[in-house]
Structure 1
Amino acid sequence: MKNSASLFLHQTQSSVMSPQQMQYIQLLQMNHFELSQFIAQEVEQNPLLEFQDDDGAGGECGETQDGEYAHHPEDAGGDDGYDNRDEALSTDWYDNGGSASTSRLYDELDTNYTNVFPDDAAPQRLDAPELVSQWKSMPGSGDGADYDIDDFGAGQVSLRDHLAQQIPFALPDMADRLIAQNFVDQLDERGRLQADIVQASERLGTSLAQAERVLATLQSLDPPGVFARSLAECFAIQLRQKDRYDPAMQALVENLKLLARRDFAALKRLCGVDEEDLLDMLGEIRQLNAKPGSDFEATVSEAITPDVVVRPASDGGWLVELNPDAMPRPLVNKSYSSLVKKNDEARAFLSGYQEKVSWLMRSLDERAKTIKKVASEIVRQQDAFLLHGVDHLRPLNLKTVAEAIEMHESTVSRVTSNKYMLTPRGLFELKYFFTVSIRAVAGGDSHSAEAVRHNIRKLILQETPEAILSDDDIVDMLKKGGVDLARRTVAKYREEMNIASSVQRRREKRALAKVSGF
């Protein structure tokens, strides 16, 4: 067969996603924090964008009462799109910089705007008291009496720093401090020591007796229970400091596995106490801290900003609104654009930024509309939950919502990821309303898995010490309520809710009932 070069014409069809479509998809799945960071970067890089003021003034786009963006993207793409409202303002009371100068107001209104009561002004507080000697012009540096020391709070102390402050007083010998520092470096976030004493002594070139003596000293430091090598040792250290580590308590701490199984009969025999004393000992165990180092973790609790707010409407329905605080509000900087629009070079430079502004505004607008559309459909589907609670939560999947609002399932999935809805019944992630459908008894409606879990928890809370419900009993009671569920599924749901088995619950509740006298 002869090889030769030739030209062929082929016609193919493919779907290519534009950069603008990719940007819209990325914006759609961002949560409030990620969207705020993205908008901040765009405002920093694009000279045509700025943030909206708190009063909502000074821009071309804002938010309507429905939470949607009201803007005119075409204004960012043409030469004549920007009006002269900012220029009109500057001809009256404002100077060229857009701010009202005091001297001009004096002349125009024949009024003095200076403070006629200077003694009533708020006192100037010292910004940094430790720098008074270097910065004489600092506010409040006159006598140092105009500042509040509470304004300069120290940062959170870590567990390592907290222990470093105590070790020099507990261990005056430098060799002991080196061993102690090695042990501090091997603490985990719980304050538990993850080191083998024998290996540590060999590695440090010291005797085992010296390493154990240093460890015993470290275990007496604050917080109680630190440097323990196991949970039992952690409890033992705290009980010793409380002078409650008697032989009975020692036997209880050494048999925590029996305590986890609620084997009270074996514990009474090993501890040599009656049932009432055993329950008192269990109460003391519950008051101990199993993770003494967790109080020093530098974790910051982040407040959740709801993306959607649901309120009862006057007609008996529900009013679904987007939360303005969760929607960043970038604006077109028309003052800057009006200054450079007459310059051809500047206009050519800004043409690319104008197109980015237009697409960003449209993407934010579509994002807001899509979130509201999905949230409104979820509220319509879960109306019974909002009225009556978790028992009436309906089974729902992404396909049902997608078909109702005529969108793809992937779009609904992106909208519901890391988005939150504030309802009269609390704050919920949008994913919470999508639950698996549990098969109902013949002739009945299907049930939500979350509602079934809630019913299982409620049945267990209502049981008495004489009538503890087994998993089979729960299956029979759910079937009477119209829920067809297998026993292994009940056991799985019970374990997910961290509820003990029927044998363990029977032991615990009977013991508590005897002590209470019921």
Structure 2
Amino acid sequence: MALSPRLEMRQSQSLVMTPQLQQAIKLLQLSNLDLSAYVEQQLTENPLLQRGEDGEAEGDRAAPEADVATLGADALVAPDAPMASEADSPLDASYDDVFAEGNDMGSLPASASRGSLPDDGDGLEGTLSAAIGLKEHLLEQLQATKVGLDERFIIAALIEGVDDAGYLNESLEDVAERLGVELEAVEDALWVLHGFDPTGVGARSLAECLRLQCAAANRLDPAMAAMLDNLELVARRDVKRLGEVCGVDAEDIHDMIAELRRLNPKPGLAFEHDLSPPAVPDVLVRRAADGSWVVELNAEVLPRVLIDRRYLARVSAQVGPGGRARADKAYVSDCLSQATWLVKALDQRARTILKVATELVRRQQPFLEQGVRHLRPLNLKAIAEETSLHESTVSRVTANKTMATPRGVFDLKYFFTAAIASADGGEAHSAEAVRDRIKHLIDDEPPGAILSDDAIVALLKDEGVTIARRTVAKYRESLRIPSSVERRRLKAMSA
């Protein structure tokens, strides 16, 4: 067959991702701080944009009027303004649509906007000091700690209660009541926190802070423990009385006091503070008087941007004839186009966040009502199917967003947990609920009948949970529970 050049016409369909659509999608995953920085940049560069204030009606709003949804016992009462579906949503696209080969979201074309979104990893945080604050330092250690999701929730709540000096200001009883967990679980979580750097963090008193540091230095002998129990005598420099209490002579007392002076009574002050404004939740969840759950967007973090129509009319009227007039008109048209896009993109972003958050609350009502142990198994696909969005859109919406609930402030990502199949074909079990059940089985085992991993598998199967022995071992290790052999040895020694 001879080869020769020829012309052919083909017809095909494809999704074209315009630069503005790419930016609109990226707006979804920005935190409220990064979004605020981007909007401020747009306000500076686009003369047709102005900041909207509450009650201001001039121009086009960037935040939706209907930013509240109410979740009852059986049904969802949607806001007055309809939510955009996947078919008409300019923000919804699959991962491949956005991150196709040769399409780098980190370097959008200059024509996408007069301003540019902050690159991943180089947003507002890029302007901050390289040093991090105490809570950020503790949260980084929490991420590297192998604990269950329920215990991770509790430790995160304790970290939020740590002040700048490193002390825990909230009582363990209050934390247990707020999170709906047992006091023992909070005490176990505090024990984990006490192992974090800096030594002494999470202490509830000066004596406990110094005790933790002495224990870490292997200097918590009976004499030092007695001195820490009588710090008021140290403050009064009552060496004679301290010698009687500690059972040592005056020279040893002076040496012990010198050791205490070398410790850090406020370990948290070694870290930077106020590096960034306090985190403000994106979504607020509260219980209504009739028992339903109200989900609303936090107005404090909703950018309110308007198109200044009066200024637009005045500028348009001043454009005269000639070659320069064409350039002026093109500039005004470009500014109007970008301003209109920003108003619509921010509006759609807010509606999409509310839509996803409302479905999350509906799925996780048992957690809101009964506590962390009642988290249901959930994945991105379930939320995507219910909200008519793509999974990648749901992933972007839940990234860098927080929700304030009566049980505390949580990242939206925290509400997604793995599922374990039911033995009788019923509803799947949350992995965290199964992990908690394993912990209780081991806690309740008698000294003479230590449960092996195989025995735990059999007990869980009787309760309708299908789980492999290696999974039980993995969950047990994540709970920092020793094997049956080690537990048998430990209980024999303590008997």
Shorter-chain-normalised TM-score: which range?
Answer: 0.5 to 0.7
Matched, 1:332 2:314: no
Partner of 1:319: 294
Partner of 1:418: 400
CA 467–324 in structure 1, closer or farther in 2 if over 3 Å, else same: farther
Matched, 1:394 2:368: no
Matched, 1:296 2:280: no
Partner of 1:136: none
CA contact (8 A) 2:281 2:409 kept: yes
Matched, 1:66 2:67: yes
Superposition pairs for residues 375-454 of structure 1, below 5 Å? 375-454=357-436
CA 430–241 in structure 1, closer or farther in 2 if over 3 Å, else same: closer
- Post-superposition Cα deviations, 1:51-100, rounded to whole Å, max 9, x if no partner, equal 345x5648532553626999xxxxxxxxxxxxxxxxxxxxxxxxxxxxxx
CA 2–504 in structure 1, closer or farther in 2 if over 3 Å, else same: closer
Output the CA distance in 1 between the equivalents of 2:458 and 2:440: 15
Shift of 1:45: 1.6
Q: Which runs of no fewer than 5 residues in structure 1 stay unpaired?
A: 71-155, 159-222, 225-233, 246-287
Secondary structure, counterpart of 1:305 in structure 2:
coil
Matched, 1:360 2:342: yes
Q: Give 1:64's aligned amino acid.
A: E
Output the CA distance in 2 between the equivalents of 1:396 and 1:311: 21
Output the CA distance in 2 between the equivalents of 1:442 and 1:354: 60
Output the CA distance in 2 between the equivalents of 1:289 and 1:298: 20
Q: For 1:306, which of 264, 281, 290 is the aligned residue?
A: 281
Most deviating of 342-351 and 482-491: 342-351
Partner of 2:351: 369
Work out the percentage of aligned pairs sharing the same amino acid: 47
Q: Give 1:415's aligned amino acid.
A: V
Output the CA distance in 2 between the equivalents of 1:429 and 1:352: 37
Partner of 1:272: none
CA 462–429 in structure 1, closer or farther in 2 if over 3 Å, else same: farther
- Post-superposition Cα deviations, 1:151-198, rounded to whole Å, max 9, x if no partner, equal xxxxx999xxxxxxxxxxxxxxxxxxxxxxxxxxxxxxxxxxxxxxxx
Most deviating of 329-338 and 37-46: 329-338
TM-score (normalizing by structure 2): 0.53
CA contact (8 A) 1:31 1:419 kept: yes
Secondary structure, counterpart of 2:409 in structure 1:
strand
Shift of 1:438: 0.4
Output the CA distance in 2 between the equivalents of 1:416 and 1:294: 31
Q: Which runs of no fewer than 5 residues in structure 2 stay unpaired?
A: 69-78, 82-130, 134-197, 200-212, 225-261, 320-324
Superposition pairs for residues 50-61 of structure 1, below 5 Å? 50-53=50-53, 57=56, 60=59, 61=61
Output the CA distance in 1 between the equivalents of 2:360 and 2:298: 16
Q: Give 1:36's aligned amino acid.
A: S
Partner of 1:36: 36
- Post-superposition Cα deviations, 1:126-165, rounded to whole Å, max 9, x if no partner, equal xxxxxxxxxxxxxxxxxxxxxxxxxxxxxx999xxxxxxx
Which structure is higher in RCO with an 8 Å CA cutoff and minimum separation 6?
2
Output the CA distance in 2 between the equivalents of 1:33 and 1:462: 47
TM-score (normalizing by structure 1): 0.51
| Count of matched residue positions in the alignment of Structure 1 and Structure 2 | 312
Output the CA distance in 1 between the equivalents of 2:475 and 2:263: 28
Partner of 1:129: none
Larger Rg, first or second structure (1 or 2) = 1
Shift of 1:504: 4.9
RMSD: 4.2
CA contact (8 A) 1:310 1:423 kept: yes
CA contact (8 A) 1:43 1:51 kept: yes
Shift of 1:362: 0.9
CA contact (8 A) 1:69 1:364 kept: no
Partner of 2:227: none
Partner of 2:21: 21
Superposition pairs for residues 121-160 of structure 1, below 5 Å? none
